[in-house]
Amino acid sequence: MEQKSITPVRSIQGTVQVPGDKSISHRALILASLANGSCTLRGLSGAGDVLSTIDCLKGLGISITKRSGAVAVKGKGKHGYKKPKKALNAANSGTTIRLLSGVLAAQPFVCEIDGDESLRNRPMRRIIEPLESMGGHIESVGYKAPLKIFGGPLHAIDYASTVASAQVKSCVLLAGLYAKGSTRVSEPAPTRDHTERMLEEFGAKIGGAQNVVCVQGPAELTPTDIDVPGDISAAAFFLVAACLLPESSIAIENVGINPSRIGILDALTAMGARVERTEVSNLNNEPRCTLTAVHSPLTAASFGGSMIPAIIDEIPILAIAATQAHGNTVIRDAGELRVKESDRLAAVAQNLLAMGAQIKETRDGFVITGPTPLHGAEIDSFGDHRIAMSFTIAGLLAAGETVIKGSECVTISFPGFFNSLEQVCVA
Ligand code: S3P
Protein backbone atom coordinates (compact mmCIF):
# COMPACT_ATOMS: atom_id res chain seq x y z
CA MET A 1 0.00 0.00 0.00
CA GLU A 2 1.37 3.40 -1.00
CA GLN A 3 1.23 6.51 1.14
CA LYS A 4 1.37 10.11 0.04
CA SER A 5 2.59 12.96 2.19
CA ILE A 6 0.72 16.24 1.71
CA THR A 7 1.93 19.56 3.10
CA PRO A 8 0.14 22.91 3.09
CA VAL A 9 0.28 25.28 0.11
CA ARG A 10 -0.59 28.97 -0.21
CA SER A 11 -2.86 28.76 -3.23
CA ILE A 12 -3.55 26.95 -6.49
CA GLN A 13 -3.23 28.80 -9.76
CA GLY A 14 -3.29 28.06 -13.47
CA THR A 15 -5.03 25.72 -15.87
CA VAL A 16 -5.64 22.05 -15.41
CA GLN A 17 -6.91 19.16 -17.55
CA VAL A 18 -9.08 16.46 -16.04
CA PRO A 19 -9.66 12.96 -17.43
CA GLY A 20 -12.64 12.19 -19.64
CA ASP A 21 -15.91 11.72 -17.79
CA LYS A 22 -15.89 8.26 -16.28
CA SER A 23 -19.65 7.67 -16.54
CA ILE A 24 -19.74 8.75 -20.19
CA SER A 25 -16.62 6.69 -20.99
CA HIS A 26 -18.22 3.45 -19.73
CA ARG A 27 -21.34 4.11 -21.78
CA ALA A 28 -19.40 5.05 -24.93
CA LEU A 29 -17.49 1.76 -24.78
CA ILE A 30 -20.56 -0.39 -24.11
CA LEU A 31 -22.78 1.23 -26.74
CA ALA A 32 -19.94 1.19 -29.30
CA SER A 33 -19.42 -2.54 -28.65
CA LEU A 34 -23.12 -3.12 -29.47
CA ALA A 35 -23.21 -0.89 -32.56
CA ASN A 36 -23.31 -2.31 -36.07
CA GLY A 37 -19.78 -1.19 -37.03
CA SER A 38 -16.70 0.70 -35.83
CA CYS A 39 -16.76 3.76 -33.58
CA THR A 40 -13.98 6.18 -32.66
CA LEU A 41 -14.01 7.42 -29.06
CA ARG A 42 -12.05 10.59 -28.23
CA GLY A 43 -11.26 11.94 -24.78
CA LEU A 44 -12.01 8.58 -23.19
CA SER A 45 -10.96 8.34 -19.55
CA GLY A 46 -7.86 6.25 -18.79
CA ALA A 47 -9.18 5.55 -15.29
CA GLY A 48 -8.90 2.10 -13.75
CA ASP A 49 -12.68 1.67 -13.76
CA VAL A 50 -12.86 2.38 -17.48
CA LEU A 51 -10.02 -0.07 -18.12
CA SER A 52 -12.19 -2.64 -16.32
CA THR A 53 -15.00 -2.07 -18.81
CA ILE A 54 -12.49 -2.39 -21.69
CA ASP A 55 -11.17 -5.60 -20.17
CA CYS A 56 -14.66 -7.11 -19.83
CA LEU A 57 -15.61 -6.14 -23.40
CA LYS A 58 -12.38 -7.70 -24.71
CA GLY A 59 -13.32 -10.85 -22.77
CA LEU A 60 -16.58 -10.80 -24.74
CA GLY A 61 -14.63 -10.79 -28.02
CA ILE A 62 -14.75 -7.07 -28.82
CA SER A 63 -11.70 -5.49 -30.47
CA ILE A 64 -10.69 -2.24 -28.77
CA THR A 65 -7.49 -0.52 -29.92
CA LYS A 66 -5.69 2.77 -29.39
CA ARG A 67 -5.43 4.85 -32.55
CA SER A 68 -3.63 8.25 -32.56
CA GLY A 69 -4.98 9.61 -29.31
CA ALA A 70 -8.37 7.96 -29.72
CA VAL A 71 -9.83 4.52 -29.07
CA ALA A 72 -11.36 2.44 -31.85
CA VAL A 73 -14.11 -0.04 -30.93
CA LYS A 74 -15.24 -2.59 -33.50
CA GLY A 75 -18.91 -2.96 -32.69
CA LYS A 76 -20.34 -6.35 -33.64
CA GLY A 77 -24.00 -5.55 -33.20
CA LYS A 78 -26.30 -6.39 -30.32
CA HIS A 79 -25.77 -10.14 -30.80
CA GLY A 80 -22.04 -10.07 -31.51
CA TYR A 81 -20.59 -10.93 -28.08
CA LYS A 82 -18.78 -14.27 -27.71
CA LYS A 83 -19.12 -16.40 -24.58
CA PRO A 84 -16.11 -15.41 -22.44
CA LYS A 85 -13.48 -18.05 -21.70
CA LYS A 86 -13.30 -17.06 -18.02
CA ALA A 87 -15.20 -14.94 -15.52
CA LEU A 88 -15.31 -11.24 -16.41
CA ASN A 89 -13.62 -8.98 -13.86
CA ALA A 90 -15.23 -5.61 -13.14
CA ALA A 91 -12.60 -5.02 -10.40
CA ASN A 92 -13.67 -1.91 -8.39
CA SER A 93 -16.25 -0.67 -10.87
CA GLY A 94 -19.95 -0.64 -9.95
CA THR A 95 -20.85 0.95 -13.28
CA THR A 96 -19.10 -1.85 -15.21
CA ILE A 97 -20.85 -4.71 -13.42
CA ARG A 98 -24.29 -3.10 -13.23
CA LEU A 99 -24.47 -1.79 -16.81
CA LEU A 100 -22.91 -4.85 -18.41
CA SER A 101 -25.24 -7.18 -16.49
CA GLY A 102 -28.16 -5.59 -18.37
CA VAL A 103 -26.56 -6.60 -21.67
CA LEU A 104 -25.34 -10.00 -20.49
CA ALA A 105 -28.84 -10.96 -19.30
CA ALA A 106 -29.91 -10.97 -22.96
CA GLN A 107 -27.02 -13.01 -24.43
CA PRO A 108 -27.43 -16.62 -25.59
CA PHE A 109 -24.82 -17.90 -23.10
CA VAL A 110 -24.04 -18.21 -19.41
CA CYS A 111 -21.24 -16.12 -17.97
CA GLU A 112 -19.90 -14.93 -14.68
CA ILE A 113 -18.95 -11.39 -13.66
CA ASP A 114 -17.00 -10.64 -10.51
CA GLY A 115 -15.09 -7.83 -8.86
CA ASP A 116 -12.69 -6.92 -6.07
CA GLU A 117 -13.43 -7.11 -2.35
CA SER A 118 -15.14 -3.69 -2.34
CA LEU A 119 -17.37 -4.56 -5.31
CA ARG A 120 -18.24 -7.95 -3.80
CA ASN A 121 -19.71 -6.09 -0.84
CA ARG A 122 -21.95 -3.79 -2.85
CA PRO A 123 -25.68 -4.39 -3.37
CA MET A 124 -26.67 -6.13 -6.61
CA ARG A 125 -30.29 -7.01 -5.73
CA ARG A 126 -31.21 -3.64 -7.24
CA ILE A 127 -30.27 -4.94 -10.71
CA ILE A 128 -31.01 -8.65 -10.22
CA GLU A 129 -34.68 -8.02 -9.40
CA PRO A 130 -35.58 -5.94 -12.47
CA LEU A 131 -33.56 -8.20 -14.80
CA GLU A 132 -35.34 -11.27 -13.42
CA SER A 133 -38.70 -9.61 -13.90
CA MET A 134 -37.71 -9.14 -17.57
CA GLY A 135 -37.22 -12.92 -17.77
CA GLY A 136 -33.49 -13.04 -16.98
CA HIS A 137 -31.91 -15.42 -14.53
CA ILE A 138 -29.00 -14.47 -12.27
CA GLU A 139 -27.45 -16.55 -9.53
CA SER A 140 -25.52 -15.04 -6.62
CA VAL A 141 -24.90 -15.58 -2.94
CA GLY A 142 -26.85 -12.96 -1.00
CA TYR A 143 -27.35 -10.76 -4.06
CA LYS A 144 -23.64 -9.93 -4.18
CA ALA A 145 -20.94 -10.44 -6.83
CA PRO A 146 -19.84 -12.79 -8.30
CA LEU A 147 -22.98 -12.93 -10.45
CA LYS A 148 -23.68 -15.92 -12.69
CA ILE A 149 -25.82 -14.61 -15.52
CA PHE A 150 -27.89 -17.09 -17.53
CA GLY A 151 -28.60 -15.01 -20.64
CA GLY A 152 -31.78 -15.46 -22.65
CA PRO A 153 -34.74 -13.70 -24.23
CA LEU A 154 -36.08 -10.72 -22.26
CA HIS A 155 -39.42 -8.95 -22.28
CA ALA A 156 -40.18 -5.28 -21.70
CA ILE A 157 -41.19 -4.10 -18.23
CA ASP A 158 -42.43 -1.02 -16.50
CA TYR A 159 -40.04 -0.77 -13.57
CA ALA A 160 -40.46 1.52 -10.58
CA SER A 161 -37.01 1.69 -9.04
CA THR A 162 -37.01 2.36 -5.30
CA VAL A 163 -33.44 3.65 -5.39
CA ALA A 164 -32.29 6.77 -7.24
CA SER A 165 -29.50 5.07 -9.19
CA ALA A 166 -28.34 5.80 -12.72
CA GLN A 167 -26.63 2.42 -12.72
CA VAL A 168 -29.94 0.62 -12.10
CA LYS A 169 -31.78 2.76 -14.65
CA SER A 170 -29.04 2.18 -17.24
CA CYS A 171 -28.93 -1.56 -16.60
CA VAL A 172 -32.67 -1.88 -17.30
CA LEU A 173 -32.53 0.40 -20.36
CA LEU A 174 -29.67 -1.63 -21.87
CA ALA A 175 -31.61 -4.85 -21.27
CA GLY A 176 -34.59 -3.08 -22.88
CA LEU A 177 -32.65 -2.82 -26.16
CA TYR A 178 -33.28 -6.56 -26.52
CA ALA A 179 -36.95 -6.64 -25.42
CA LYS A 180 -39.93 -6.10 -27.71
CA GLY A 181 -41.90 -2.96 -26.84
CA SER A 182 -41.33 -0.13 -24.44
CA THR A 183 -39.14 -0.75 -21.37
CA ARG A 184 -39.90 1.95 -18.84
CA VAL A 185 -38.00 2.95 -15.69
CA SER A 186 -39.20 5.42 -13.11
CA GLU A 187 -36.99 6.60 -10.28
CA PRO A 188 -37.60 8.37 -6.97
CA ALA A 189 -35.41 11.31 -8.03
CA PRO A 190 -33.76 12.13 -11.36
CA THR A 191 -30.28 10.66 -11.79
CA ARG A 192 -27.56 11.26 -14.38
CA ASP A 193 -29.00 10.75 -17.86
CA HIS A 194 -25.88 9.95 -19.92
CA THR A 195 -27.27 6.57 -21.02
CA GLU A 196 -30.46 8.07 -22.42
CA ARG A 197 -28.57 10.86 -24.17
CA MET A 198 -26.05 8.50 -25.72
CA LEU A 199 -28.64 5.91 -26.74
CA GLU A 200 -30.33 8.70 -28.70
CA GLU A 201 -26.99 9.54 -30.33
CA PHE A 202 -26.71 5.90 -31.40
CA GLY A 203 -30.22 6.06 -32.93
CA ALA A 204 -32.35 4.35 -30.28
CA LYS A 205 -35.84 5.70 -29.59
CA ILE A 206 -35.95 7.19 -26.10
CA GLY A 207 -38.94 8.81 -24.46
CA GLY A 208 -40.12 9.82 -21.04
CA ALA A 209 -41.05 12.62 -18.73
CA GLN A 210 -39.75 13.81 -15.38
CA ASN A 211 -38.30 10.85 -13.39
CA VAL A 212 -39.40 8.39 -16.11
CA VAL A 213 -37.51 7.15 -19.15
CA CYS A 214 -38.36 4.50 -21.72
CA VAL A 215 -36.57 2.80 -24.58
CA GLN A 216 -38.28 1.22 -27.54
CA GLY A 217 -37.04 -2.28 -28.31
CA PRO A 218 -35.73 -4.17 -30.02
CA ALA A 219 -33.33 -1.41 -31.05
CA GLU A 220 -30.36 -1.43 -33.41
CA LEU A 221 -27.45 0.91 -32.64
CA THR A 222 -25.87 2.95 -35.43
CA PRO A 223 -22.07 3.32 -35.16
CA THR A 224 -21.35 6.79 -33.75
CA ASP A 225 -18.11 8.58 -32.90
CA ILE A 226 -18.12 10.03 -29.40
CA ASP A 227 -16.15 12.91 -27.91
CA VAL A 228 -16.09 12.52 -24.13
CA PRO A 229 -15.96 15.78 -22.12
CA GLY A 230 -13.82 16.16 -18.99
CA ASP A 231 -15.13 14.73 -15.73
CA ILE A 232 -16.85 17.25 -13.47
CA SER A 233 -16.39 14.83 -10.56
CA ALA A 234 -12.61 15.13 -11.06
CA ALA A 235 -12.83 18.90 -11.61
CA ALA A 236 -14.63 19.21 -8.24
CA PHE A 237 -11.38 18.67 -6.30
CA PHE A 238 -9.74 21.68 -8.00
CA LEU A 239 -12.86 23.84 -7.71
CA VAL A 240 -13.02 23.29 -3.95
CA ALA A 241 -9.26 23.78 -3.50
CA ALA A 242 -9.51 27.12 -5.36
CA CYS A 243 -12.45 28.25 -3.21
CA LEU A 244 -10.62 27.44 0.02
CA LEU A 245 -7.04 28.59 -0.63
CA PRO A 246 -6.39 32.37 -0.61
CA GLU A 247 -5.48 34.08 -3.91
CA SER A 248 -6.39 30.97 -5.90
CA SER A 249 -7.68 30.99 -9.43
CA ILE A 250 -8.02 27.84 -11.48
CA ALA A 251 -9.39 27.17 -14.96
CA ILE A 252 -10.48 23.68 -16.00
CA GLU A 253 -11.11 23.25 -19.71
CA ASN A 254 -13.68 21.15 -21.52
CA VAL A 255 -15.61 19.94 -18.45
CA GLY A 256 -18.95 18.16 -18.91
CA ILE A 257 -21.84 20.21 -17.52
CA ASN A 258 -24.76 17.86 -18.12
CA PRO A 259 -27.59 19.33 -15.95
CA SER A 260 -27.87 16.03 -14.04
CA ARG A 261 -24.22 16.32 -12.95
CA ILE A 262 -23.75 19.96 -11.97
CA GLY A 263 -25.03 19.68 -8.40
CA ILE A 264 -21.52 20.53 -7.19
CA LEU A 265 -21.64 23.86 -9.07
CA ASP A 266 -25.08 24.63 -7.61
CA ALA A 267 -23.95 23.61 -4.11
CA LEU A 268 -20.75 25.67 -4.17
CA THR A 269 -22.60 28.66 -5.63
CA ALA A 270 -25.23 28.37 -2.87
CA MET A 271 -22.35 28.52 -0.38
CA GLY A 272 -21.00 31.71 -1.95
CA ALA A 273 -18.37 30.33 -4.33
CA ARG A 274 -17.56 32.15 -7.54
CA VAL A 275 -17.42 29.59 -10.35
CA GLU A 276 -17.70 30.88 -13.92
CA ARG A 277 -18.64 28.98 -17.09
CA THR A 278 -17.15 30.08 -20.41
CA GLU A 279 -16.59 28.47 -23.84
CA VAL A 280 -19.89 26.62 -23.52
CA SER A 281 -20.55 24.11 -26.32
CA ASN A 282 -22.47 20.92 -27.00
CA LEU A 283 -21.19 17.77 -28.62
CA ASN A 284 -22.77 14.33 -28.76
CA ASN A 285 -25.73 15.56 -26.74
CA GLU A 286 -23.47 16.43 -23.77
CA PRO A 287 -22.83 20.12 -22.88
CA ARG A 288 -19.34 21.20 -21.82
CA CYS A 289 -17.43 24.37 -20.91
CA THR A 290 -14.40 25.88 -19.20
CA LEU A 291 -14.93 26.25 -15.45
CA THR A 292 -13.03 28.95 -13.57
CA ALA A 293 -13.07 29.13 -9.77
CA VAL A 294 -11.47 31.72 -7.52
CA HIS A 295 -10.96 31.97 -3.78
CA SER A 296 -14.30 32.74 -2.13
CA PRO A 297 -15.45 32.97 1.49
CA LEU A 298 -18.08 30.25 2.02
CA THR A 299 -21.22 30.07 4.14
CA ALA A 300 -22.93 26.86 5.21
CA ALA A 301 -25.94 25.42 3.38
CA SER A 302 -28.23 22.37 3.56
CA PHE A 303 -28.54 19.74 0.86
CA GLY A 304 -30.98 16.84 0.63
CA GLY A 305 -33.89 15.32 -1.30
CA SER A 306 -33.78 15.25 -5.09
CA MET A 307 -30.55 17.32 -5.09
CA ILE A 308 -28.54 14.38 -3.72
CA PRO A 309 -28.15 12.27 -6.93
CA ALA A 310 -26.69 15.35 -8.66
CA ILE A 311 -23.89 15.60 -6.03
CA ILE A 312 -23.64 11.97 -5.00
CA ASP A 313 -19.95 11.54 -5.92
CA GLU A 314 -18.99 15.05 -4.80
CA ILE A 315 -20.26 14.86 -1.20
CA PRO A 316 -16.84 13.90 0.25
CA ILE A 317 -15.15 16.96 -1.32
CA LEU A 318 -18.15 19.13 -0.40
CA ALA A 319 -17.55 18.03 3.20
CA ILE A 320 -14.02 19.45 3.00
CA ALA A 321 -15.47 22.75 1.74
CA ALA A 322 -18.01 22.70 4.60
CA THR A 323 -15.26 22.62 7.24
CA GLN A 324 -14.28 26.14 6.09
CA ALA A 325 -17.83 27.51 5.67
CA HIS A 326 -19.48 29.67 8.35
CA GLY A 327 -22.32 27.79 10.07
CA ASN A 328 -23.80 24.30 9.94
CA THR A 329 -23.65 22.49 6.60
CA VAL A 330 -26.20 19.69 6.57
CA ILE A 331 -26.28 16.70 4.21
CA ARG A 332 -29.34 14.45 4.45
CA ASP A 333 -30.98 11.71 2.32
CA ALA A 334 -27.54 10.49 1.27
CA GLY A 335 -27.68 6.96 2.71
CA GLU A 336 -26.52 5.65 -0.70
CA LEU A 337 -23.04 6.85 0.29
CA ARG A 338 -22.84 3.92 2.68
CA VAL A 339 -22.78 1.47 -0.26
CA LYS A 340 -20.25 3.16 -2.55
CA GLU A 341 -16.60 2.04 -2.93
CA SER A 342 -16.44 2.52 0.85
CA ASP A 343 -18.95 3.71 3.47
CA ARG A 344 -18.28 7.31 2.50
CA LEU A 345 -20.25 8.83 5.40
CA ALA A 346 -18.18 6.91 7.94
CA ALA A 347 -14.93 7.53 6.04
CA VAL A 348 -15.54 11.29 5.83
CA ALA A 349 -16.51 11.50 9.52
CA GLN A 350 -13.55 9.45 10.79
CA ASN A 351 -10.98 11.33 8.73
CA LEU A 352 -12.39 14.81 9.33
CA LEU A 353 -12.47 14.18 13.08
CA ALA A 354 -8.81 13.13 12.87
CA MET A 355 -8.04 16.51 11.24
CA GLY A 356 -9.84 18.49 13.95
CA ALA A 357 -13.07 19.29 12.09
CA GLN A 358 -16.47 19.41 13.77
CA ILE A 359 -18.64 16.75 12.18
CA LYS A 360 -21.60 14.75 13.40
CA GLU A 361 -22.37 11.69 11.32
CA THR A 362 -26.06 10.87 10.95
CA ARG A 363 -27.88 7.84 9.50
CA ASP A 364 -28.07 9.36 6.02
CA GLY A 365 -25.63 12.25 6.06
CA PHE A 366 -23.76 14.57 8.41
CA VAL A 367 -23.66 18.02 9.95
CA ILE A 368 -20.41 19.96 9.73
CA THR A 369 -19.87 23.12 11.76
CA GLY A 370 -17.35 25.57 10.41
CA PRO A 371 -15.06 27.22 10.00
CA THR A 372 -12.48 25.09 11.84
CA PRO A 373 -8.74 25.11 11.23
CA LEU A 374 -7.65 21.64 10.11
CA HIS A 375 -4.46 19.94 11.22
CA GLY A 376 -2.52 17.21 9.45
CA ALA A 377 -3.37 13.61 10.31
CA GLU A 378 -3.01 10.05 9.09
CA ILE A 379 -5.87 9.51 6.65
CA ASP A 380 -7.35 6.11 5.82
CA SER A 381 -8.46 6.15 2.17
CA PHE A 382 -10.36 2.87 2.73
CA GLY A 383 -9.13 2.09 -0.80
CA ASP A 384 -11.66 4.65 -2.07
CA HIS A 385 -10.42 7.08 -4.73
CA ARG A 386 -12.81 9.90 -3.83
CA ILE A 387 -11.84 9.73 -0.14
CA ALA A 388 -8.11 9.80 -1.03
CA MET A 389 -8.49 12.84 -3.31
CA SER A 390 -10.86 14.76 -0.99
CA PHE A 391 -8.44 14.43 1.92
CA THR A 392 -5.49 15.39 -0.26
CA ILE A 393 -7.28 18.73 -0.79
CA ALA A 394 -7.93 18.94 2.96
CA GLY A 395 -4.19 18.36 3.48
CA LEU A 396 -3.37 21.43 1.34
CA LEU A 397 -5.05 23.68 3.91
CA ALA A 398 -4.19 21.77 7.08
CA ALA A 399 -1.35 22.74 9.40
CA GLY A 400 1.51 20.22 9.29
CA GLU A 401 1.73 16.95 7.39
CA THR A 402 -1.20 14.85 6.18
CA VAL A 403 -0.49 11.27 5.15
CA ILE A 404 -2.91 9.56 2.76
CA LYS A 405 -2.74 5.80 3.27
CA GLY A 406 -3.53 3.73 0.18
CA SER A 407 -3.10 6.76 -2.10
CA GLU A 408 -2.68 4.57 -5.21
CA CYS A 409 -6.47 4.12 -5.36
CA VAL A 410 -6.79 7.56 -7.05
CA THR A 411 -6.05 5.74 -10.34
CA ILE A 412 -9.59 4.30 -10.19
CA SER A 413 -10.92 7.62 -11.52
CA PHE A 414 -7.98 10.04 -11.93
CA PRO A 415 -4.59 8.43 -12.71
CA GLY A 416 -2.66 11.75 -12.99
CA PHE A 417 -4.26 13.40 -9.96
CA PHE A 418 -1.15 14.04 -7.85
CA ASN A 419 0.87 15.34 -10.83
CA SER A 420 -1.92 17.62 -12.04
CA LEU A 421 -2.33 19.00 -8.53
CA GLU A 422 1.39 19.55 -8.05
CA GLN A 423 1.52 21.61 -11.23
CA VAL A 424 -0.97 24.18 -9.96
CA CYS A 425 0.13 24.35 -6.32
CA VAL A 426 1.90 27.54 -5.21
CA ALA A 427 3.98 26.97 -2.06
C1 S3P B 1 -22.67 6.25 -11.90
C2 S3P B 1 -23.77 6.46 -11.12
C3 S3P B 1 -23.69 6.73 -9.68
C4 S3P B 1 -22.29 7.20 -9.26
C5 S3P B 1 -21.22 6.35 -9.86
C6 S3P B 1 -21.30 6.36 -11.38
C7 S3P B 1 -22.88 5.93 -13.32
O8 S3P B 1 -24.00 5.55 -8.97
O9 S3P B 1 -22.18 7.21 -7.85
O10 S3P B 1 -19.95 6.84 -9.48
O11 S3P B 1 -21.93 6.02 -14.11
O12 S3P B 1 -24.01 5.58 -13.67
P13 S3P B 1 -25.55 5.18 -8.67
O14 S3P B 1 -26.27 5.40 -9.92
O15 S3P B 1 -25.60 3.75 -8.26
O16 S3P B 1 -25.93 6.13 -7.55
What confidence tens digit (pLDDT) does each residue in 302-321 have? 999 999 999 999 999 999 99
Ligand 1 proximity of 45 Cβ (cutoff 6 Å): no
| pLDDT score recorded for residue 68 | 84
Nearest atom of ligand 1 to the alpha carbon of 26: 11
Strands 158-160 and 181-186: what pairing? parallel
Residue-by-residue DSSP string for 234-265: HHHHHHHHHHHSTT-EEEEEEEE--TTTTHHH
| pLDDT score recorded for residue 380 | 98
Distance from C-alpha of 224 to C-alpha of 242, rounded to nearest angstrom: 37
- Note if the pTM is more than 0.95: yes
Q: What is the mean pLDDT of each run of 10 residues along the chain (427 residues)?
A: 97 98 98 98 98 98 94 98 98 98 98 98 98 98 98 98 98 98 98 98 95 98 98 98 98 98 98 98 98 98 98 98 98 98 98 98 98 98 98 98 98 98 97
Q: For 232-272, what is each residue's pLDDT tens digit?
A: 999 999 999 999 999 999 999 999 999 999 999 999 999 99
Ligand 1 proximity of 191 Cβ (cutoff 6 Å): yes
Ligand 1 proximity of 336 Cβ (cutoff 6 Å): yes
Ligand 1 proximity of 50 Cβ (cutoff 6 Å): no
- Name which of 348, 252, 248 is nearest 297 in CA terms: 248
Distance from C-alpha of 16 to C-alpha of 251, rounded to nearest angstrom: 6
For residue 45, the SS3 value is coil
Ligand 1 proximity of 165 Cβ (cutoff 6 Å): yes
Nearest atom of ligand 1 to the alpha carbon of 99: 12
Distance from C-alpha of 270 to C-alpha of 330, rounded to nearest angstrom: 13
Q: How far is the CA of 94 from the centre of ligand 1 (A)?
A: 8
| pLDDT score recorded for residue 252 | 98
- Name which of 164, 177, 138 is nearest 312 in CA terms: 164
Residue nearest to atom 4 of ligand 1 (CA): 313
Q: How far is the CA of 427 from the centre of ligand 1 (A)?
A: 35
Residue nearest to atom 11 of ligand 1 (CA): 23
| pLDDT score recorded for residue 245 | 98
**Other CB atoms within 10 Å distance of the CB of residue 65:** 9
Ligand 1 proximity of 29 Cβ (cutoff 6 Å): no
| pLDDT score recorded for residue 85 | 98
Based on DSSP, count helices (H) and strands (E) in the chain, helices before strands.
14, 24
Q: Where are the beta strands (DSSP E) in 202-354?
A: 206-209, 212-217, 226-227, 249-256, 274-283, 286-294, 302-303, 327-331
Residue type, 13: Q
**Other CB atoms within 10 Å distance of the CB of residue 155:** 16
- Scanning 142-202, the segments in alpha helix (DSSP H) are 166-176, 194-201
User: Quick check: 233 and 310 in contact, CB under 8 A?
Assistant: no
Secondary-structure percent of the chain, ordered helix, strand, coil, rounded to 5? 35, 30, 35
| pLDDT score recorded for residue 69 | 85
Q: How far is the CA of 346 from the centre of ligand 1 (A)?
A: 19
Catalytic residue IDs: 313
**Other CB atoms within 10 Å distance of the CB of residue 192:** 25
